């Protein structure tokens, strides 16, 4: 009836993250076109993520074309460090935002040409909370923890470790100087996520990095094999 206000209930039952998940699906389809393996790297600030990434690129660039999307609230310092390795890099500044979202990755991909069968590293904003909930369209989430942090971090930030497929325990070269129980840390991660794989590495000395590269290469060959080539 006109003029009469009528209150009604509309049932919608919609996931609040559905919009982000839609953009993530679009990114995933797009990455499939080039058979690109995309890894979403997450950690707290100062875990050595960028150093780890620079070393990885230097060691793998002869085998794979590598591109990087760098997320930070401010500055292009990290993208500059990555470009020094010769890899293509795009910096996404999230401003006040504490994590990357799928649409930001979509825009970054518009400006970042990808070669077939390559690697795309997405370095998320340093934060162990928010990035866990936002799918970017990556194949795997990789969480980096360093031995200068608490060994109980997987228990303190369970969402992040539950979402990750691989945990890299970085800065292992510092272990002789610290009281850090590696076994307790790995046990904490596995308690939160029984399926998580763990590697102990040092991006500084290169210790353990070969195992990470083997992990990447195995997954990159799957991405290459499942590529949907437009010429195909």
Partner 1 sequence: MHEMSLCEGIVDLIAEEARRHGFARVKSVMVDVGVLGHVDPQALAFGFDVVSRGTVAEGARLVIEQIPGAGWCMDCAKTVPLAERFGACPECGQHHVQMTAGDELKVRELEVE
Residue 203's DSSP bridge partners are none
Q: Which two tokens stand for residue 78?
A: 């990290």
How near is the Cβ of 26 to partner 1 at its closest, in Å? 16
3-state SS assignment for residue 102: helix
Supply the DSSP symbol for 172: G
Q: For residue 142, which of 34, 229, 231, 219 has the smallest C-alpha distance?
A: 219
How far is Cα 53 from Cα 202, in angstroms, rounded to an integer?
12
Contact residue for partner 1 among 1, 6, 111, 177 (CB under 8 A): 6
DSSP 37: E
- Asked if residue 132 binds partner 1 (CB under 8 A), the reply is yes
Which span sits near partner 1 by CB under 8 A: 18-26, 85-93, 138-146, 200-208? 18-26
Pull the structure tokens for residue 55: 């070393």
Tokens of 137: 């369209």
Min. distance of Cβ 209 from partner 1 in angstroms? 29
Rounded to an integer, what distance in angstroms lies between the CA atom of residue 9 and that of residue 24? 31
Distance CA 146, CA 59 (A): 21
- Which pair of structure tokens corresponds to residue 63? 């085998």
- Strand-pairing partners, residue 143, are 42, 167
CA angle 16, 74, 68 (to 5 degrees): 75
Question: Closest separation between CB of residue 91 and partner 1, Å?
Answer: 20
Q: Which of residues 35-74 bind partner 1 (CB under 8 A)?
A: none
Binding status of residue 25 toward partner 1 by CB under 8 A: no
Considering only 1, 3, 7, 111, the residue that binds partner 1 (CB under 8 A) is 7
User: By CB under 8 A, which span of 58-66, 142-150, 178-186, 189-197 interacts with partner 1?
Assistant: 189-197
192 touching partner 1, by CB under 8 A: yes
In the complex, minimum distance from the CB of residue 10 to partner 1, in angstroms, rounded to a whole number: 5
Contact 33, 61 (CB under 8 A): no
The pattern of x and - marking residues 92 through 131 that bind partner 1 according to CB under 8 A reads ----xxxx-x---------------------------xx-
Residue (101 or 123) nearer to partner 1, CB: 101
Q: Shortest approach of partner 1 to residue 57 CB, angstroms?
A: 29
Q: Which residues bind partner 1 (CB under 8 A)?
A: 5-20, 96-99, 101, 129-130, 132-134, 158-159, 162, 191-194
């Amino acid at each position: 009836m006109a003029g009469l206000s009528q209150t009604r209930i509309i049932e919608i039952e919609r996931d609040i993250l559905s919009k982000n998940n839609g953009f993530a699906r679009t990114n995933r389809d797009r990455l499939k076109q080039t058979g690109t393996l995309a890894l979403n790297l997450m950690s707290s600030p100062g875990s050595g993520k960028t150093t780890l990434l620079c070393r990885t690129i230097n060691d793998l660039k002869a085998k794979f074309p590598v591109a990087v999307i760098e997320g930070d609230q401010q500055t292009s310092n990290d993208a500059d460090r990555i470009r020094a390795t010769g890899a293509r890099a795009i910096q996404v500044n999230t401003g006040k935002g504490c994590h990357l979202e799928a649409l930001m990755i979509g825009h970054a991909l518009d400006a970042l040409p990808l070669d077939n069968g390559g690697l795309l590293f997405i370095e998320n904003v340093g934060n162990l909370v928010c990035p866990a909930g936002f799918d970017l369209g990556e194949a795997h989430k990789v969480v980096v923890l360093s031995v200068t942090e608490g060994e109980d971090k997987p228990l303190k930030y369970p969402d992040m470790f539950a979402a990750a497929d691989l945990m890299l325990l970085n800065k292992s070269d510092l272990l002789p100087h610290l009281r850090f129980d590696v076994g307790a840390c790995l046990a904490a991660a596995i308690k939160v996520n029984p399926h998580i794989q763990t590697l102990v590495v040092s991006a500084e000395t290169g210790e353990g990095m070969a195992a990470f590269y083997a992990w990447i290469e195995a997954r990159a060959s799957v991405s290459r094999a499942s590529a949907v080539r437009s010429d195909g």
